[in-house]
Amino acid sequence: MMITAINVYKVTLPFKATFSHSQKDARSVDNIVVEIVTNENGLRGYGEGAPRPYVTGETQRDAIRNVTALCLNKGFPWDLDQISQIWNFVTAATSDKSHNSALCALEIALLDMLARKKGRNLLHYLPTDHVTKEIQYGGTVPIADLNMVTEICAMLKEFDIKAVRLKMGKCFEANKRTIKAVCRVMGRGGSLRVDVNGAWNLDLAKQHLPLLVSHEANILEQPLMPNDDNWEELADIVRARDVKLMADESVCSMEDMEDAITEGYFDIINIRLSKCGGFFNSLKIIQRVRAAGLNYQVGCQLGESGILSAAGRALCAASSDALYYDGSYDAFLLKENLTTENVTFGHGGKAVPLKGHGLGIRVIPENLNRFSDDPVTIQRSLIGLRGTCPE
């Protein structure tokens, strides 16, 4: 199977309302979509990346440029027939996490295309030792005024969502009002995680800790920035209160993972496809988490379209031992989607692996064009290829 061209779209997806966390107030989101075109009639593969400067340092423009650079690597599988070619390409690709959303989008598109060509679901190419037939997603409460927080919590309760992740910012009084409102509406008995996206310093973390404990929020995700000097002191303090620390922005690569194991601050690692550089790298980090005796959750980036949601569903389906699952928020968050299929989870957060070939979704070309600029196109014929790329 010959790849003839790769189109990279700069996509902006509008939200139904403003969704905020400590690093961003958003009414829309900027992602990239990779479309792989082949010499076989109608056969295309799609992948998506979610570049976020506050996560891996990537902008949307960076990600598009990085896709082009990755396609020019000598090992890029322009003539694709075996899964090993994709894994070998990813293994040889840059280990710099500032390329991760680009690598994620490109890898997913290759997997989608190969699986479609072979008449298989993408799950066929993932490990089978931790497969689950049902996923139970949680819900996220953004930074918002109390009316919106109450409304979102009422919706989550109506959907019988048991696992809730609460975003918090720098204002203690606002956070106090919010967590009280969440517990008032949701009641007790579920699980409550607090996600800070690195907005606190050590003093703010200490101030918040009694509030978290009194409301049974026993997991604190990324309270400090990755390079903060106070992780060791905070880790000692939270463990004394039986609160677990989760790493998100602190672990975006295997190098980060090894550092996290050596330092010993974190109990849980948040694995997100775009943040970690796609399936191969995410699964490698998950294997290391298991070997180190730690726990993990499978998460998502805010504003994933049905393409990345479908990929996330596959990773969740291959991760039965994850503590939590976040994602498939499509219909709750996006005004319109890029896919025909609705990848949103159902009542109770329940969802099943998607069926069909490839990712199990179909991209709507009209929507892809409507929500994007003209694509950057990498033509095989213009870079002198005969089966491999020049160095």
Helix (H) or strand (E) holding 365: helix 365-370
Q: What's the mean pLDDT in 323-336?
A: 96
Q: What angle do CA 307, 255, 277 make, to 5 degrees?
A: 10
Q: What is the DSSP string of 41-81?
A: TT-EEEEEE---TTTTS--HHHHHHHHHHHHTSTT--SB--
CATH 3.30.2010.10 fits 3-119+365-382, yes or no: no
Q: Is 182 exposed, middle or buried (0-12, 13-18, 19+ CB in 10 A)?
A: buried
Q: Amino acid identity, residue 137? A: Y
Q: Is the pLDDT of residue 311 over 90?
A: yes
Q: Is 206 exposed, middle or buried (0-12, 13-18, 19+ CB in 10 A)?
A: middle
Q: Say what the pLDDT of residue 188 is.
A: 81
pLDDT in tens, 126-185: 999 999 999 999 999 999 999 999 999 999 999 999 999 999 999 999 999 999 999 999
Q: What is the number of alpha carbons within 13 Å of residue 119 lying toward its C-beta?
A: 0
User: Which CATH superfamily hosts domain 125-351?
Assistant: Enolase-like C-terminal domain (3.20.20.120)
Q: Say what the pLDDT of residue 224 is.
A: 98
- Reported in sequence order, the residue ranges of the chain that DSSP labels E, i.e. its strands, are 3-21, 24-38, 44-49, 135-136, 139-141, 163-167, 191-195, 219-221, 244-247, 268-271, 295-298, 350-351, 376-379
Q: Is the pLDDT of residue 382 over 90?
A: no
- Percent of the chain's residues with pLDDT above 70: 96
CB 179 within 8 A of CB 211: yes
pLDDT in tens, 62-95: 999 999 999 998 899 999 999 999 999 999 997 7
Q: How many CB atoms lie within 10 A of CB 157?
A: 16
Q: Say what the pLDDT of residue 140 is.
A: 95
- The CATH 3.20.20.120 portion of the chain extends over 125-351
Secondary-structure percent of the chain, ordered helix, strand, coil, rounded to 5: 40, 20, 40
- CA torsion through residues 196, 14, 372, 272, sign: positive
Residue at token pair 């690569």: 253
Residue 387 pLDDT level (bands cut at 50, 70, 90): very low
Q: What is the DSSP string of 87-131?
A: HHHHHHS---GGGHHHHHHHHHHHHHHHHHHHT-BGGGGS--TT-
User: Which residues is 163 bridged to in the sheet?
Assistant: 191
Q: Is the pLDDT of residue 32 over 60?
A: yes
- The CATH 3.30.390.10 portion of the chain extends over 3-119+365-382
Residue 26 pLDDT level (bands cut at 50, 70, 90): confident
Which tokens is 219 given?
A: 């997991």
User: CA-CA distances (angstroms) from residue 123 to 38, 188, 275?
Assistant: 22, 36, 20
Q: Say what the pLDDT of residue 94 is.
A: 78
